[in-house]
Amino acid sequence: MSVCFKKRAVSCLLSALMVLALAAAPARYAYAAEAAEGAVSISAPSAILLEVSTGKVIYEKDADRICAPASITKIMTLLLIFEALDKGKIKLTDEVITSEHARSMGGSQVFLETGELQTVDTLIKCIAVASGNDAAAAMAEHIAGSEEAFVAMMNQKAQELSMTNTRFEDCCGLTDSDDHHTSARDVAIMSRELVKNYPEVYRYTGIWMEDITHTTARGSSVFTLSSTNKLLKQYQWATGLKTGYTGKAKYCLSATARKDDVELIAVIMSAPDSPSRFADAAALLNYGYSVSALYRDDNREKLLPMKVEGGVEETVDLAYDSGFSYLDVEGNDVEMIQKKIELPESVSAPIRAGDSAGEARYFLNGEQIGSVPILFASSVKKARYRDYLGKIIGSFLL
């Protein structure tokens, strides 16, 4: 078991006052939300802050407000790209041909030429670093055959993730259509899905500047990708993720950061100007780190086998379904969290691998804060007459 514990910044008067208020409040989470509203001030009309491993929301401000996402749309595009890589449908070394449609995207671009070949790896950099609309369209066509088919995949994934305020009409966010929309909460959901399942994306979103080479019929030329995420230089723990701007969407940002193994996502929507979105994100991240204490149990210790009644095997191995994380923002000491294993003394065959055997329950201040299923690691068939006979004979011979 490993515990990652972020100590509070006790010098912060506002945080201290909030903790004292929470200690006296019966509805602790509600009061925590009120304290968050008062402890940090941002200019953007819509925002949200959450922790990645638990998904716990630390702060929100009109987080379900419908907004135009601009290039933050590309977070979903990146998510589908990394899913395709994970499933083996594409490889980083694949060469992608730029179509006339991709070349003509306009807006933020890396100036791909029709017929130009670039690897998937390079195009991911173009999307993540320079927010290339042409690169996003090229990858959409490479994966789905057309941008339209890829957008259908984007909307299907949004439904799977319960992004109830989201609908996409393109793969890059260039459109001004009212039917292309999302919310701060939905952006946080897809951002978390991307970074939690594919942390390798940080190898791209953390790039500040890098050269790529265009090779066309006219020869080769170098093009410098420059990050649109100024937070990478302004905030020491920043790791990504994506900026966005159109006249309709105004200034947007999904900012990721990691400090002392605590990973946060701050989403800013419809900020009035570019400096404000970065200042708002930094303020939210600082607030999050000032109040957050993360408890993590990897559940890697070996569990004792369970006795099996009436099976071909006398015992069955057990395994945790997953690790456990808990984020406290209410001033509790997470080192006081207790773990209790609840299992029966034995189980009757037949047993199927993956079925529930019991659970590990976690408690803080006498209240359960979560649990993790404990599963059977293998299957055990029910013993028949010949199995018992075989055991008797084997025991006699021994």
Q: How far is CA 204 from the centre of its chain?
A: 15
Average pLDDT taken over every residue of the chain = 89
Given this chain, do its domains 46-294 and 306-397 carry the same CATH topology?
no
Q: How far apart are CA 107 and CA 73, in angstroms?
A: 14
Residue 61 designated active-site: no
Report domain 306-397's class: mainly beta
- For 253-288, how does the pLDDT look when each residue is reduced to its tens digit (9 = 90+)? 999 999 998 999 999 999 999 999 999 999 999 999
Contact yes or no for 178/196 (Cβ under 8 A): no
Q: Which residues contact 264 (CB under 8 A, 6 or more apart)?
A: 49, 50, 51, 52, 58, 256, 257, 258, 284, 285, 288, 289, 292
Whether residue 23 has pLDDT greater than 80: no
Instruction: Establish whether 71 is a catalytic residue.
Output: yes
Q: Work out whether strand 250-259 and strand 367-376 pair parallel, antiparallel, or are unpaired.
A: unpaired
Element at 221 (helix H, strand E): strand 219-226
- Residues 158-211 have pLDDT tens digits of 999 999 999 999 999 999 999 999 999 999 999 999 999 999 999 999 999 999
Arithmetic mean of pLDDT, 339-364: 97
Name the amino acid, one letter, at 270: S
Q: Is 128 exposed, middle or buried (0-12, 13-18, 19+ CB in 10 A)?
A: buried
- What is the CA angle 80-86-88, rounded to 5? 105
Query: Could you tell me the two tokens for 239?
Result: 């790791």
Q: pLDDT band at 216, cuts 50/70/90? A: confident
| Identified catalytic residue from 6, 74, 125, 242 | 74
Share of the chain above pLDDT 70, in %: 87
Q: Delimit the domains of the chain by residue range.
A: 46-294, 306-397
HEC string of 62-87 equals CCCCCECCHHHHHHHHHHHHHHHHHC
Is the preceding peptide bond at 303 cis, omega within 30 degrees of 0?
no
Q: Which of 131, 183, 191, 254 is catalytic?
A: 131
Using an 8 Å Cβ cutoff, are 304 and 90 in contact?
A: no
User: Is residue 125 annotated as a catalytic residue, yes or no?
Assistant: no
Catalytic residue among 15, 46, 53, 71: 71
CA dihedral 151, 89, 202, 209 (to 10 degrees): -80
HSE-CB at 157 with a 13 A cutoff on CA atoms is 26
Strand segments, DSSP code E, in 44-187 are: 46-51, 57-61, 95-97, 117-119
Tell me the CATH architecture of domain 46-294: 3-Layer(aba) Sandwich (3.40)
What helix, strand, coil percent values describe the chain, rounded to 5? 35, 30, 35
* SS3 state of residue 393: helix
